[in-house]
Chain A
């Protein structure tokens, strides 16, 4: 057996042809947490639910009247006082019944004890302030959770990833058509958010560095 149910094989057919059964099995076992549901986080949530992760937990206590305009997971008819995480999780659950989607009460900023992130493989923190981002990054390192954070404002956006010690396999295009694929085991060590944001400009190749980096650094220093 390939380890997928008949329902999974039917719905996931087209993507199994992109990333194969092994990847699908690993996706199906993954547990992911999304904290903060701005438009870009809603987009991510949709894509990973469609991809067929095992479990997705949403954390966003704001009420639907204040839902981010880009969060298409909250229907226009949602009760104004209902919670964004709850409404979004219902939409996502209908989108793919093969995934377990749930909402956790509480807001990302207000959580003081971050031990609840233990057990997740990946955490996405979206639209949070600097202090919260730094806190979650540290906690993710402590609990071994891959950390992503994203900010999107108007036509500008950036994201940060901290996968700690990350091992992966690099697949190179075959030398000749039909030739054997060359794979290479690699590891990469990610810096923490603090190290990345507050690094000195020494050694930066200015022409190769996006000007947004300096803007973000300036904003962060100001916020601090």
Chain B
């Protein structure tokens, strides 16, 4: 039942405080938002919290992840955060999991054990995963993100439970996290990167994705970037220029007998002189652009110049701290005395760092050669990319960047401060409390702006309804209770799929690697394979079996009343294992199906009026109606910015924030560890 008490007056009642103290909360992420969130949750009276985070603490976290101390660097974020919060409120029960939330053990059953899921994640992939788990387990999700001074909090999924069919109250559902498309990571046309860069980022991408990989990384890993997503097809001139650069991978290998200095100088000459001259020969490219100017290395760094510095391995006294390690790190800029990572290097400095970095990779870092992966925490890698990108910028007349700024661009570093995370966490707990109070109609999506927009910094907006064609929450969700040890695939097909669900051919069910289908056009051997699986119990089917918590995707082709084909239908079926059910004794009691199969819908392109009529029943019910409660003052929410803002502008902003967050992907090192 949805409560119609007054918000926020209800928060002062004992009944509410009791609900808060009993609510089971899953906090995903113990980073910037996570630390603030855990603190605010226990201060607000929440006592049952599980926290999941796979990461370990780094020095650059300490400016905002205030539950961590210098001596915790290298330890588990989830474990240290849970201990710190327990010191604040010893009676709170905090369970820490140092793990990836995508692991199998955090299945539907795990999510089903919580009343609320609160996300403080740093990547889109994990966000999508949690969204799907929340949808399958029908647990409400509060999603959040921050970047610099800006942030957002949104509420998704089934916000109130309509647990028994006898309750007249329908389940209240908001859009899921994936109802609105998320911005894809930014890509650049390959022609711009290779032939005609005009922004610093173009040179950084070139240095990091193409050059770094080619010189130090795996050869097969060299990125071709994404030429498919280019807004315009390559011009003839671009194609000509690209053709000139084909088949040149071998030119980046060291020739037998070549000295390291000779090699690095040859690479420099090729990249910043001969390749540029070749580009200049494609005259069509430069009709409307400034021509690049090749660099003369002999002029910048004379061949017989004394080698810079006595040592190429310097412990950093100043400038480039390596964070966790006090040990000496290979650094080209330190060897050259360039200790200010905010300073702009001269052209000659860039050339020297370029040469020195190659030398260091060939000597002290030789073990990485052929397998190096760019990592923003790797000082030498950042130095090389900075120098290489700056030299290219100089050639093309683009402003150069400091080591600090290049590191941020190449590493997709998210700008972050404690205050923003604290505000966003406060907003998350506010939404959590509305959900605990069972007042989902009070829930809001909140935007935290850098500047007042137009008068307020925080803009709350009403939740959106589900997108009917959402691939995640669009398909109908059904639950099937059965004893997966005794019920067979044959029983499932005859009693449930063709029986109570009434699927029409062709139809198929899939669950990870397992698939079963029925279609008149099946090959004979396929039909035989399927027939052989029929007597097997559900849990013993291939691909891990249809055990407890398995999510089965179902697709079929229903017919309309007039016999014409309807729109293809997709559903999701969640299997719940009931060990004490004995189907042998009473086969009719073997399955219990909860949920209903959606009615056939005319195909897209059929009469519009018909379509709208069909959709009305399910999807156009106003989401957060007051349902007859007295109109109280609280109900009038002042939304100066949001109400006037067109929907697509909001969508764009959402996409922007999502993109910013998604950018802080795990570092390559971590990704490998996953």
Residues in A lying within 8 Å of B, measured CB to CB: 1-2, 5-7, 9-19, 21, 39, 43, 46-47, 50-52, 69-70, 72, 75-77, 94-97, 154-155, 178
Contacts and interface: CB of A to CB of B under 8 A. Distances in A.
A9 to B, nearest CB: 6
Top 6 nearest A-B pairs by Cβ distance? A10-B321, A6-B321, A17-B415, A50-B418, A155-B8, A14-B416
Among B69, B149, B415, the most chain A Cβ lie within 10 Å of the Cβ of: B415
Interface in B111-166: 148-149
A37 B165 CA distance: 51
Majority secondary structure of chain A interface residues (helix, strand, loop or mixed)? helix
A14 B60 contact: yes
B59 A11 contact: yes
Among B69, B316, B321, B341, the most chain A Cβ lie within 10 Å of the Cβ of: B321
B43 A69 contact: yes
Interface of B: 8, 11-12, 39, 43, 59-60, 62-64, 66, 69-70, 87-90, 148-149, 199, 316-321, 323, 339-343, 404, 408, 413-419, 422
B323 A10 contact: yes
Given A6-B316, A50-B64, A18 B416 contact: yes
A75 B88 contact: yes
A14 B321 contact: no
B60 A13 contact: yes
B415 A15 contact: yes
A17 B418 contact: no
Majority secondary structure of chain B interface residues (helix, strand, loop or mixed)? loop
Contacts of A1: 318, 339-340
B316 A50 contact: no
A15 B323 CA distance: 15
A131 to B, nearest CB: 29
Given A6-B321, A15-B417, A51-B417, A76 B88 contact: yes
Contacts of A76: 87-90
Contacts of B413: 13-14, 17
A77 B90 CA distance: 9
A177 to B, nearest CB: 10
Contacts of A14: 60, 63-64, 413-417
8 contacts: A6-B317, A7-B321, A14-B413, A17-B148, A18-B415, A46-B66, A51-B418, A76-B88
A144 B403 CA distance: 39
A97 B70 contact: yes
A47 B419 contact: yes
Given A15-B415, A47-B418, A72-B43, A154 B339 contact: no
A72 to B, nearest CB: 5
A154 B90 CA distance: 23
Given A50-B64, A75-B88, A9 B418 contact: no
B321 A52 contact: no
Nearest to A155: B8
B66 A50 contact: yes
A11 B69 contact: no
A174 B169 CA distance: 51
A10 B316 CA distance: 12
Given A6-B318, A6-B321, A51-B418, A95 B87 contact: no
A72 B88 contact: yes
Given A2-B340, A50-B66, A39 B43 contact: yes
Nearest to A69: B43
A159 B408 CA distance: 36
A45 B136 CA distance: 42
Given A43-B422, A51-B419, 17 more contacts: A2-B341, A2-B343, A6-B320, A9-B319, A12-B63, A14-B60, A14-B63, A15-B416, A18-B416, A21-B342, A50-B64, A72-B39, A76-B87, A76-B90, A95-B66, A95-B69, A97-B70
A49 to B, nearest CB: 8
A96 B149 CA distance: 21
